[in-house]
Amino acid sequence: MELLQGPIRDYAWGSRTAIARLQGRPVPSEGPEAELWLGAHPGAPATVDRDGTPVSLTDLLVAEPDHWLGERLVGRFGVRLPFLLKVLAADAPLSLQAHPDAEQARAGHVADAERVNYVDPYHKPELLVALSEFDALCGFRDPVESAAAIAAFGVPALEPVVAALRTGPAGLREAVRLLLSWPPAERAGLVADVLAAEADGPDASLARGLAADYPADPGVLVALLLHHVQLAPGEAIWMPAGNLHAYLRGIGVEIMAASDNVLRGGLTPKRVDVDELLRVLRFEVLDEPVIAAVPVAPGVVTWPVPVEDFALHRVELTAGGPEARLALPGPRVVLCRAGRLVVDDGVGTVALGPGQAAVGTASGGPLVIGGEGEAYVATCGLR
C-alpha cells in the first residue's frame, strides 16, 4: 500500500467546510470544494509519491499494467482503473442528469466527434453512501403521484403535462419532453406561476426551494417526477444507467464506473441536450432507489450492485477489537473517514488518518486493516 493524494474539484455547488474538516484543514476553505477524487480518471488523477515527486496514478498503470491492475482486470477493462472513488460534498443542488449504458456510451462516443455529450466510451453507474443526512432526487416515482403534485399548483399551462402523467408510466416520456421543451421565453413565467400558487406540502416546498436557485428552469417541475429521498448516514442509493437523478445537499462517499459521460436535464446553466437525454432515459418507475448494507464480516458491510466495474466496503474498527481481513481483488483504494488506521496488503503498510487514502496494486495480498476508526475500500467488482 502507498499513500494516495487526491485532487479536489472546485465546482460551484461544493461545500467550504466538509472536505476541509474531513482532512483537518482550516474551515472555511478559500473556495467551494465539491469532490475529492481518488482514482486514475484522466480528468483529475490522484498521485503517488516517487522520490519526492507526485506521479499520476494513470501514468503508473500504463507503465506497469500487470503489476497494478492484474492480467484479468486488463483483459476485461483494458489498461485503466475501472472505478473512481469520491467524497462528494454538496451545499447546493447538482444538475438533473442521467448517464448512458455501456452500449449507448460506445456508440455515442464514436458518433460524437466533437465530444459534446460522450467524452469517453464508458458507462457510469454509481453508488452513493451518505456520510451525513443526504438529500437527493433519484429515479422516476409513480407518475400518478407526480400528476397530483403538479396539478396542485393549479397552473393551466401545465394541464398537458398532468394529463400525460395520469396515463401512468407510458406518459413519462411525453411529460418530460413537454417540460424540457418549454419555450425559453415562457420559462420564467411558468416557474413564477408555480411559486405564486397556494399549494403546500413536501412537493410544493421542494419546487420552491429549487426555484430559488433556478427561477427560469423547467427542471424545477421535472424534479417532481422523481423520488425525493432523504438518506440517513450509512444509507445508500444506487443509480443505474438511464435513471434521472440529482444530488441536492449533503456529504457522501460515491463510487462509480470511471466515466465522465453526463446528459443534463435541468437545474443547471450548462448545456441541456433534450433529444439525447430522451433517448438515454429509462422511462420506468424505480421501485426502490435506496439499498441496504449487507454484513460480510464483523465490522464490514457492502452494498451489492450488479456491475463488475466496482464494489465498495465499509470497515468499522473499535479500540481493542480484531483487525479486518478483506480478500478483495486488486487494485484497492482505501479512504480513512475517521480514526487512525493501519492498512497492510503484504507488499506495503500505510498509516492513515481522517481524509487520507492509500492505494494498493493487484500484486498485493489480502488487505489487513487495524486500529480504530472507519474506512471505505473501493475495488473492482470482478469475482
**Would you give the DSSP letter of residue 5?**
B
Q: If you average pLDDT over residues 134-156, what whole number do you get?
A: 97
Give the model's confidence band at 329: pLDDT under 50 very low, under 70 low, under 90 confident, else very high. confident
- The span from the CA of 125 to the CA of 119, in Å, is 16
Number of Cβ atoms within 10 Å of the Cβ of 80? 20
Q: If you average pLDDT over residues 349-371, what whole number do you get?
A: 96
Which of the residues 264, 314, 332, 337 is marked catalytic?
Answer: 264
- CA atoms 300, 35, 100, 228: torsion sign: positive
Is-contact 84 45, C-beta < 8 A?
A: no
**Cα→Cα distances 142→34, 178, 203, 204, Å:** 32, 18, 14, 17
Per-residue pLDDT for 330 more than 90? no
Of residues 316, 312, 367, the one with CA closest to residue 338: 316
Binding-site annotation, residues: 97, 99, 126, 245
Q: What pLDDT is attached to residue 183?
A: 97
What domains are defined for the chain?
2-136+229-266 (2.60.120.10), 139-226 (no CATH), 294-379 (2.60.120.10)
**Quick one: which H or E segment has residue 57?**
helix 57-63
Is-contact 158 251, C-beta < 8 A?
A: no
Maximum Cα–Cα distance across the chain: 68
Q: What pLDDT is attached to residue 382?
A: 87
pLDDT in tens, 60-105: 999 999 999 999 999 999 999 999 999 999 999 999 999 999 999 9
Q: What pLDDT is attached to residue 383?
A: 77
Of residues 52, 69, 65, the one with CA closest to residue 3: 52
Each residue of 345-367: b (16+ CB within 10 Å) or e?
Answer: beeeebebebbbbbbbbbbbeeb
Angle at 133 between CA 131 and CA 139, to 5 degrees: 95
Give the model's confidence band at 196: pLDDT under 50 very low, under 70 low, under 90 confident, else very high. very high
**Would you give the DSSP letter of residue 191?**
H
pLDDT in tens, 6-34: 999 999 999 999 999 999 999 999 999 99
Per-residue pLDDT for 277 more than 90? yes
Per-residue pLDDT for 119 more than 90? yes
Per-residue pLDDT for 265 more than 90? yes
**Cα→Cα distances 200→160, 207, 215, 253, Å:** 22, 10, 18, 33
Binding-site annotation, residues for Zn(2+): 97, 99, 126, 245
Strands (E) in 114-193, as ranges, are 126-130, 134-140
For residue 7 the three cell numbers come to: 485532487
How do 53-56 and 126-130 pair as beta strands? unpaired
Q: What pLDDT is attached to residue 76?
A: 95
User: Quick check: is 16 catalytic?
Assistant: no
Percent of the chain at pLDDT > 70 equals 100
Of 7-11, 52-56, 73-77, 288-292, minimum mean pLDDT range: 288-292
> pTM, whole model, 2 decimals?
0.95
Per-residue pLDDT for 263 more than 80? yes
End-to-end CA distance of the chain: 21
**Quick one: which H or E segment has residue 324?**
strand 324-326
Is-contact 324 369, C-beta < 8 A?
A: yes
Per-residue pLDDT for 357 more than 80? yes
**Would you give the DSSP letter of residue 273?**
-
Q: What share of the chain is helix, strand, coil (3-state, %, to 5)?
A: 25, 35, 40
Q: If you average pLDDT over residues 107-113, what whole number do you get?
A: 92
Of 74-78, 157-161, 366-370, 379-383, minimum mean pLDDT range: 379-383
Q: What pLDDT is attached to residue 287?
A: 87
Residues 6+ apart with CB under 8 A from 103: none
Q: What pLDDT is attached to residue 283?
A: 96
